[in-house]
Amino acid sequence: MKILNSNEFDNAIASGIVLVDFYADWCGPCKMLSPVIEGLAEKMEQVNFYKLNVDASSDIAGRYGVQAIPNLIIFKDGKAVDQITGFVPENEIVKHLQNLL
C-alpha cells in the first residue's frame, strides 16, 4: 500500500472513493490496524487505499484535524465524507465503505 507524502495527497484523493490511514510508526494500534487495511485493499478494488504518516505530513493531518491515531478518513471525489478513529474490526470499516459504493 502506497504511503503518501504531502505533495501527493491532494492528487491521490481527487477522484473516486479513497480511504487514507493516518498513522505513525510508533503507534501500537496503528500497527495492529495496518494488516486489516492491507487485507481490505486486496478485497475492495473499487476503493483506493493509502497511508499517511502524521509525523512526516503534519500539515495534512492538521488540515483534517487528526489528533488521535489510527485515524481513517474516507474521501469521495476529494471531499472527506467519513472518519473512523481508533482500532476497529474489518467489518466496521467495510460498513462505512459500503455506504459510499
**Annotated catalytic residue within 30, 54, 69, 97:** 30
Q: Are 53 and 82 in contact (CB under 8 A)?
A: no
For residue 59, give its domain range: 2-99
> pLDDT digits over 32-70, tens only?
999 999 999 999 999 999 999 999 999 999 999 999 999
Catalytic (active site) residue 53: no
> pLDDT digits over 66-75, tens only?
999 999 999 9
Catalytic (active site) residue 95: no
DSSP letters, 46-74, are TEEEEEEETTTTHHHHHHTT--SSSEEEE
CATH code for the domain in which residue 72 is found: 3.40.30.10
- What is the count of structural domains for the chain? 1
**Annotated catalytic residue within 27, 37, 54, 69:** 27
